[in-house]
Chains A and B, each alone.
Chain A
């Protein structure tokens, strides 16, 4: 019988049952296991139509003409819309730069760009009608890399740019540029005993969330529209949708419907405006559901990158300097590219102390698919490169790679390349020590004593490609640093409304926020926070919608920090109001009401000494308390555009990995045997969810190490593998055991001392696997993902 449970080291305990620190279960768990949870693609409305998007078949072209007459004449079709049908002068949207057309006009800039929309009574009717739309394209040369983007005669991807980055970029085909200069890297290089240089390539990764982009728009009687959709940030969507529809924000009522994963891929709009346009035009509810093929065109991807690094070190293993240049390909539209550039540059050194640095990060405009947010956001690409550099330096110095990292590891008080001090725990060396100290899995696990090889445990698995001959093992380490929350001066706030009242003879708290639950478990921890702060067992989490203030985005590892912080802050305020009522009603009965520190625990008002003063039911009888408040983390500031200096980040999170791999050197097949991880989470509000997030993030990093890449044809800029047949994500057979070791070193600036956790494990997982494959094979391997041909030299 197999053992139950994952080896996990994590603290437990809380004063309130079901409060923070406990592994309480998801409130949506039962609905999700019974199939009753309503995901965005499950929405249904009587008399509903199906929307479909026609997308460009070429990457870069002028549109000469669009003829929709035949599509419109198809029986069952209710509307066909193109750019000309947009209702107002605002035709573009965008997270920061409004450069993305709702429907292409004049030009298409990438393969799969939306050109026209159809609404029909059956999804297949809509699809067939869309296929009858005739578009005349005149193809243009494609820009696919830095050389073609910045060539003197390069066509501009966006002519007449007037966004605020244009003044400081060296070429209009560069979205944003962030240099960071600190100390003097050239002078410091003279002190180096060894110097290593490297050129690294990071492939285009896809979020590949399982729930396809989808939603339902329902026209309302006041001329507005209701939109039920899976997104990461309702209010950001609303801000972008309203101007294009020409409606005031109040007339667009958005409700979060069930989200099947996000990982950054739902930060940008996909079908939101399209469904609303069709619903407003037809006067009927319109549902749009992308299939997997369309999903690959429907959201932005992780920026592929070229990274050029130089590091020096003295012979006793101290880093002297670092120079790097990071070129991110942002594709046809800006999306989150400016912020990705800020992250890539400011985190390009990694969790190491280097006083003298010369850094530059840029993002290109090209005709490749648009890239934007994905888990790890700019830090992932850098981590892949700097960790390879650390191994190279250690090898050149004849040092142990973990020992070399430890010698240079940052700690609390270290200074970032941006000049910002790290003012909370930074246990980099300790995390590495922990993954290293873990016993290694036994060698040749495919052999169980005296028995035949179990091919399932070998690289290639059931394909029966080897019986162990030619299989070598390698071990590799990596560690990374990720910022938490939105940086560079962004007003990163959240809002929570909390009500407390007596329902059915019990005190009940209701929490309402606009936080997008995308699977991460925010709804679980909000209930835990309310129980902890208000001492009640019963907490109801209201569905997220735009009837309450913004919660900000479910991204950047920020929601437990920021919306969790808002729930905590609002609950504290509610508690004060409840105590005021108590004092008014019962204050005369006991002096402690006026003198003692009072808490709410177990449905009662108690003194900090544990004396019970009243039941909450009695205090709240005939009254209710309702508070809505905004909450902000401490402010950050923009990076200087020339020097990169500035207190740009609010918090950092750290994770370390040790990968153990086995490689069949004959066929170039890799099996990851174990991927151990140690991470500091500050405070584990829900240990079970914390471990789940760390394992999930680790697996996405494993994916990009050995299989995941969107392949774009360099000649045509067309996507070649938009399907789950050709874009591979790890299956349960590709994923090893992932033992998790959790540290809880409180960050005094954060609610409960917590640290955002979702992204850090994605960073170091990839370079750890690469390091292990290098260790096994002796090959240099400077690109990801590693494919069989890279291992066999074919």
Chain B
């Protein structure tokens, strides 16, 4: 079958998709977007988290056909997504998702694929690096998407809020302490910037 949807602001078309293929497979193997990770493919680890019309979902559990005509944001598009959000007015009240309009107004920009240098990073991406929240990094894309969505909803999350929001994302390397640090850091920087 053919699936038409928007990924990181770009209209995409996937052909010859098998009936059983997941959104994760289509992103990774057909769109060339391997940023979303395949750690369990059973909805348990959160490594494959993307936003579907603004809502964080495990892309391994979403059938490719379900995304027809919808908007997907992956870790590859996170920086631009955050930039657009900042430019078009973030969410100060703590209770707004991403409107379709917002999602449509931006698209991913390429960066130097060797070192990643020159990439503009979203605040949460920068905070993960600065806080030492990245070790092997396999959990990182999913955590970033989930944490970014948390900060969009709740600019000043308590530790309990952070734990609750990230409880669907497994990390085997860090012990989570530095991930908490990173989310607190991003929130604090966000507050400073306001």
Do the beta carbons of A35 and B178 come within 8 Å of each other? no
B180 within 8 A of A: yes
Residues of A within 8 A of B129 (CB): 25-26, 29-30, 33
- Nearest A residue to B133, CB-CB: A692
- Nearest B residue to A48, CB-CB: B29
Do the beta carbons of A2 and B159 come within 8 Å of each other? yes
A437 within 8 A of B: no
Which one of A28, A263, A291, A688 lies within 8 Å of B137 (CB-CB)?
A28
Q: Give the complex CA separation of A41 and B29 in angstroms.
A: 10
Do the beta carbons of A723 and B42 come within 8 Å of each other? yes
Residues of B within 8 A of A39 (CB): 34, 37, 138
A396 within 8 A of B: no
Residues of B within 8 A of A41 (CB): 34, 37-38
Chain A interface, DSSP helix/strand/loop, else mixed = loop
Q: Give the complex CA separation of A100 and B185 in angstroms.
A: 48
Q: Give the complex CA separation of A731 and B176 in angstroms.
A: 8
A212 within 8 A of B: yes
Q: Give the complex CA separation of A124 and B18 in angstroms.
A: 9
Do the beta carbons of A263 and B172 come within 8 Å of each other? yes
- Provided the pairs A31-B116, A35-B74, A724-B42 are in contact, do residues A699 and B137 lie with their beta carbons within 8 angstroms? no
Count residues on chain A whose CB falls below 8 Å from chain B CBs: 70
Do the beta carbons of A211 and B167 come within 8 Å of each other? no
Do the beta carbons of B132 and A36 come within 8 Å of each other? no
Least distance between B145 CB and chain A CB atoms (Å): 10
Least distance between A520 CB and chain B CB atoms (Å): 7
Do the beta carbons of A210 and B172 come within 8 Å of each other? yes
Most chain A CB within 10 A, of B130, B160, B191, is at B160
- Provided the pairs A210-B172, A260-B39 are in contact, do residues A34 and B135 lie with their beta carbons within 8 angstroms? no
List the one stretch of A132-140, A187-195, A732-740 in contact with chain B: A732-740
List the one stretch of B64-72, B94-102, B117-125 in contact with chain A: B117-125
A1 within 8 A of B: yes
List the one stretch of A454-462, A594-602, A607-615 in contact with chain B: A454-462
Do the beta carbons of A260 and B137 come within 8 Å of each other? yes
Least distance between A258 CB and chain B CB atoms (Å): 8
Report B37-49 CB contacts with A as 1/0, cut-off 8 Å: 1111110110100
In chain B between 159 and 174, which residues have their CB closer than 8 angstroms to a CB of chain A? 159-160, 162-164, 166-174
Do the beta carbons of B121 and A32 come within 8 Å of each other? no
A698 within 8 A of B: yes
Residues of A within 8 A of B180 (CB): 732
Do the beta carbons of A6 and B138 come within 8 Å of each other? no
- Nearest A residue to B139, CB-CB: A210
Do the beta carbons of A42 and B135 come within 8 Å of each other? no
Report A6-38 CB contacts with B as 1/0, cut-off 8 Å: 100000000000000001011011111111111
B28 within 8 A of A: yes
Do the beta carbons of A208 and B172 come within 8 Å of each other? yes
Residues of B within 8 A of A212 (CB): 38-39
Do the beta carbons of A695 and B174 come within 8 Å of each other? yes
Do the beta carbons of B163 and A456 come within 8 Å of each other? yes
Least distance between B61 CB and chain A CB atoms (Å): 12
- Nearest B residue to A725, CB-CB: B44
Do the beta carbons of B184 and A3 come within 8 Å of each other? yes
A209 within 8 A of B: yes
Which one of B76, B111, B126, B173 lies within 8 Å of A261 (CB-CB)?
B173
- Provided the pairs A3-B184, A36-B113 are in contact, do residues A692 and B178 lie with their beta carbons within 8 angstroms? yes
In chain A between 219 and 273, which residues have their CB closer than 8 angstroms to a CB of chain B? 258-263
- Nearest B residue to A292, CB-CB: B40
- Provided the pairs A4-B188, A291-B41, A724-B44 are in contact, do residues A519 and B177 lie with their beta carbons within 8 angstroms? no
Least distance between B27 CB and chain A CB atoms (Å): 10
Which one of A210, A456, A729 lies within 8 Å of B164 (CB-CB)?
A456
Residues of A within 8 A of B169 (CB): 731-732
B36 within 8 A of A: yes
Q: Give the complex CA separation of A519 and B134 in angstroms.
A: 8
Do the beta carbons of B18 and A729 come within 8 Å of each other? no
A521 within 8 A of B: yes
Do the beta carbons of A210 and B176 come within 8 Å of each other? no
B63 within 8 A of A: no
A97 within 8 A of B: no
A122 within 8 A of B: yes
Least distance between B179 CB and chain A CB atoms (Å): 7
Do the beta carbons of B132 and A731 come within 8 Å of each other? no
Residues of B within 8 A of A732 (CB): 162-163, 166-167, 169, 171, 176, 179-180
Least distance between B31 CB and chain A CB atoms (Å): 11
Do the beta carbons of A211 and B138 come within 8 Å of each other? yes
Do the beta carbons of A519 and B135 come within 8 Å of each other? yes
Most chain A CB within 10 A, of B115, B117, B169, is at B115
Q: Give the complex CA separation of A34 and B175 in angstroms.
A: 21
Which one of B34, B126, B176, B185 lies within 8 Å of A35 (CB-CB)?
B34
Q: Give the complex CA separation of A732 and B177 in angstroms.
A: 8
Do the beta carbons of B113 and A210 come within 8 Å of each other? no
Least distance between B79 CB and chain A CB atoms (Å): 7
Q: Give the complex CA separation of A364 and B135 in angstroms.
A: 35
- Provided the pairs A212-B38, A725-B44, A729-B172 are in contact, do residues A6 and B137 lie with their beta carbons within 8 angstroms? no
Residues of A at under 8 Å CB distance from B? 1-6, 23, 25-26, 28-39, 41-42, 44, 122, 124, 207-212, 258-263, 289, 291-292, 454, 456-457, 462, 518-521, 688-689, 691-692, 695-700, 723-725, 729-733, 735, 737-738
Q: List 25 A-B contacts (CB under 8 A).
A: A1-B188, A23-B132, A25-B130, A25-B132, A34-B116, A42-B28, A124-B18, A124-B21, A209-B136, A209-B172, A211-B39, A258-B137, A261-B138, A292-B45, A456-B163, A518-B136, A519-B136, A691-B132, A695-B174, A723-B42, A724-B45, A725-B44, A730-B176, A731-B169, A732-B179
Known A-B contacts: A291-B41, A724-B45. Give 6 more (CB < 8 A).
Answer: A4-B181, A35-B33, A258-B137, A261-B173, A519-B137, A519-B138
Which 4 pairs from chain A and chain B are nearest by CB?
Answer: A35-B35, A519-B136, A260-B138, A695-B175
